[in-house]
Amino acid sequence: MLIVQTIAELKACLNKEREQGHSVGLVPTMGALHAGHASLVERSVKENDVTVVSIFLNPTQFNDKKDLERYPRTLEADCELLEKCGAQVVFAPSVDEVYPEPDTRVFSYPPTDSVMEGAFRPGHFNGVCQIVSKLFMMVEPDKAYFGEKDFQQLAIIREMVKQMNFPLEIVGCPIVREDDGLAMSSRNMLLTAEERVRAVNISRILKESRDYANEHTLQETRRFVEEQIAAIDGFIPEYFQIVDGNTLQQIESWEDSDYRVGCIALFCGKIRLIDNITYIL
């Protein structure tokens, strides 16, 4: 596995691969890798000749400086995991390499980017689009892989790819969960033991709401989740919305969409967690 830090090294290595007709898969990450990332890398390894994994803690997508400061940094362990998954190239550039100048580009995909994460984390998706578009230009992948846990991010990246005519395929991959149901996230390692136990209620309540939804209206189901979450000590809810999975806009009844996704964000202590569930009725 090759580990490169500069765009020049990355391009030199990928040019050689392309000369041989090899396809390239990209898995963008911010490091602190877990089994969820491993599933994206393994899928890319299966579907492409060469898999590039970028590890870059992108400062422009953090609207909260403290969140950036406390974000886990585990490069050595990340590389060990990637080697086991069969990735061929790790691209781990510095901030100066990626942003030689401040990125003043503005990305705006209304109404998809103005709700939920967009409303609670102003500027977040602009930063995500800045880095992801740069990575697409640096790597020029045939396919790029993103997890469905960041459901809204995936929708916005799909929109950006369409609007900017990036010649690549976006592959959305299912959420990977811990044995007890908690959606895998790099932030889980920041939870205290007590918070970790509490966090499992998120996926439990979402799962229960799926059964509840079979017998109840959308409004009742939304209230069910909100009340259950509010009853857990130490949770500070931000939002729970049931949206159309394509437009990300709230729906008011089950009949409003045939792709209904419940998206939740909350603080468990100081750590912000997100999750989502699809309602198949």
Residues with catalytic roles: 37
Among 29, 203, 221, 276, binds ligand PAF (CB under 6 A): 29
Q: Where are the beta strands (DSSP E) in 148-259?
A: 169-173, 235-244
Find the shortest distance in angstroms from Cβ 147 to ligand PAF.
Answer: 7
Shortest spacing between CB 45 and ligand PAF, in angstroms: 18
Residue number with CB closer to ligand PAF (91 or 279): 91
Going by C-alpha positions, the residue among 134, 140, 175 that lies closest to residue 154 is: 175
Which of helix, strand or coil describes residue 101? Answer: coil
Question: Which listed range, 26-34, 41-49, 96-104, 253-261, lies at the site for ligand PAF (CB under 6 A)?
Answer: 26-34
The CB-of-232 to ligand PAF minimum distance in angstroms stands at 26
Asked if 28 touches ligand PAF (CB under 6 A), the answer is yes
103 CB-side CA count, 13 A: 22
| Binding positions for ligand PAF, 38-67, rule CB under 6 A | 58, 61
**Which of these ranges, 22-30, 168-176, 187-195, 216-224, lies near ligand PAF under the rule CB under 6 A?**
22-30
The residue written with tokens 């790790």 in the block is 90
Residue 97: exposure state from Cβ atoms within 10 A (0-12, 13-18, ≥19): middle
Query: Could you say which residues in the range 120-179 bind ligand PAF, by CB under 6 A?
Result: 128, 131-132, 150, 153
Query: Which residues, listed in sequence order, are joined to residue 264 by a DSSP beta bridge?
Result: 240, 275
Pairing state of beta strands 260-268 and 235-244?
A: antiparallel
Q: By CB under 6 A, name the binding residues for ligand PAF.
A: 28-30, 58, 61, 128, 131-132, 150, 153
